[in-house]
Structure 1
Amino acid sequence: MNSKNTTERTTMPLGTAVIVGVGPGIGLAIARTFAEAGHPVAMLARDRARLDAYAVQLALTGQDVRGYVADAADPAGLRAALHRAVTELGAPDVLVYNAGVRREDSPLGGDDQDWADVTAVNVLGARVAADTVLPELRDGRGSLLFTGGGYGLSPSKEHASLSVGKAALRAYVRVLHDHLAGTGVHATTVTITRDIGGGEARFDPAVLARAYLELHHQPEAEWQHELMRY
């Protein structure tokens, strides 16, 4: 009986990997990495044509990979897209929140609504995604992973909104990690301190994407609120 149950568990299909913020760099690499590991993948982004092209590429992995149009700055739209993805692809094992707005701006001046929209993507969208996916996790266990950045540690006056957003995201994930302690859900930030794909092998998108998969499989005794990539 025990042997049979063990076999059933090990052959059970993997849950969905939900990736919010899939572009041509690390977002696509993360989607590919989880698909190649055997997960159905839901890719969320604003560009339908780009999502369709990615889905065609990743179909070669043999997994069900689908794109869902969503704007992380729109909480209601993001929730709706996440619910649709879970309904169509099945209960998730992992959420990766990779959405963010990088632009040059100043801590003063500019348009108020523009700052509000950027903050909605960099911070609020992360909370909305976590709040939506958490109750849907298969067996109530899984991983909530968030892409941080070096400006969250060392702010830049030339990238003010991104610096504020990454610092706030880092704080949010820290309190989320503490809040979920003992529940079987792993919340952590992957803080990437260099330019992705900037020529250093350890910052190649495919290499960084492996770190997300490894975090998802990390033993619970080793869980921490942040993984640094210097």
Structure 2
Amino acid sequence: MTVALVTGAARGIGAAIAVRLAADGYSVGVLDLREEDTAATVAQIRSGGGTAIGVGADVADSTAAADAVALVAAELGAPTVLVNNAGILRDNLLFRMTDDDWDAVISVHLRGAFVMSRAVQKHQVEAKWGRIVNLSSTSALGNRGQANYAAAKAGLQGFTKTLAIELGPYNVTVNAIAPGIIATDMLRMAADRLGITFEAYLDAASKDIPVRRVGQPEDIAAAASFFCSREASFVSGQVLYVAGGPKA
């Protein structure tokens, strides 16, 4: 059975991707910063008849990442599918943004994807098959108050295209998904910062989206499912904007 590893999979988009890949027949390593936070996702997968384990690791820590990949390999088998979804927000305007705000976001999103991909690609190259999916964002095109996040997500797009070139000869495809506004806890935090209800935030946001609704985590999971499939073997180095309309 093919083994997938999904980072930031305790909730939101990561959890939806992990559940979808399990439904597609993958064994899934559900990774988040704290193993105990993965319990709900693991339980949902197992209740549906799937196979999953929870793993706790800081994706930006080289040793922790390597240990996490080794644990998944030992318990489920060598992971040949990797979804780099882990992320955090530290939004602020440039003149208010601290060094720590910048470093934390770049570290989790960009360094984390680098460290995890480096650890997993060894198994992919050995298997001569693999899939890497990186989570970018429409914010890569620029978004007020998100200089750190936008830079990290734009960097992931360049990272994606470069790995597609390097790993292509080993039958490994590398693609990115750039979600638009998705109804997750991260978005709820944004509403809280603005002092409005989550429902009011979503209603206002939907008015600027051509399909007149915000996205759901399952919308992103569907795109990840395709990129991870064997049918997507001739699709690599691409960035798919899943945003309810043309964004790039």
Q: TM-score range by the shorter chain?
A: 0.7 to 0.9
CA distance in structure 2 between the aligned counterparts of 1:145 and 1:139, rounded to whole angstroms: 18
Of the structure 1 ranges 64-73 and 173-182, higher mean CA displacement relative to structure 2 is found in 173-182
Aligned to 1:194: 181
CA distance in structure 2 between the aligned counterparts of 1:18 and 1:55, rounded to whole angstroms: 12
Give, as a single letter, the amino acid of the residue that structure 1 aligns with 2:233.
E
Asked if residue 159 in structure 1 is aligned to residue 146 in structure 2, the reply is: yes
Aligned to 1:141: 129
CA distance in structure 1 between the aligned counterparts of 2:118 and 2:65, rounded to whole angstroms: 11
CA shift at 1:202, angstroms?
Answer: 7.5
1:37 pairs, out of 24, 39, 42, with 24
Q: Scaled by the length of structure 1, what TM-score is found? A: 0.85
Aligned residue for 2:64, secondary structure, equals: helix
CA contact (8 A) 2:19 2:41 kept: no
**Unmatched segments (≥5 aa) in structure 2:** 185-201, 207-211, 244-248
Aligned to 1:212: 224
2:236 pairs, out of 205, 213, 223, with 223
CA contact (8 A) 2:101 2:148 kept: no
Superposition map of 1:62-211 within 5 A: 62-137=49-124, 139-153=127-141, 155-196=142-183, 203-211=215-223
In the alignment of these two chains, the number of paired residues is: 216
Of the structure 1 ranges 48-57 and 109-118, higher mean CA displacement relative to structure 2 is found in 109-118
CA contact (8 A) 1:96 1:146 kept: yes
Task: Give the 3 Å change call, closer, same or farther, for CA 108–179 of structure 1 in structure 2.
Answer: farther
Aligned residue for 1:186, secondary structure, equals: strand
CA contact (8 A) 2:182 2:215 kept: yes
1:60 pairs, out of 20, 39, 47, with 47
Q: Scaled by the length of structure 2, what TM-score is found? A: 0.79
CA shift at 1:196, angstroms?
Answer: 4.1
Percent identical among aligned pairs is 25
CA contact (8 A) 1:73 1:118 kept: no
Give, as a single letter, the amino acid of the residue that structure 2 aligns with 1:159.
Q
CA shift at 1:109, angstroms?
Answer: 4.5
Aligned residue for 2:80, secondary structure, equals: strand
RMSD of the TM alignment (CA)? 2.0
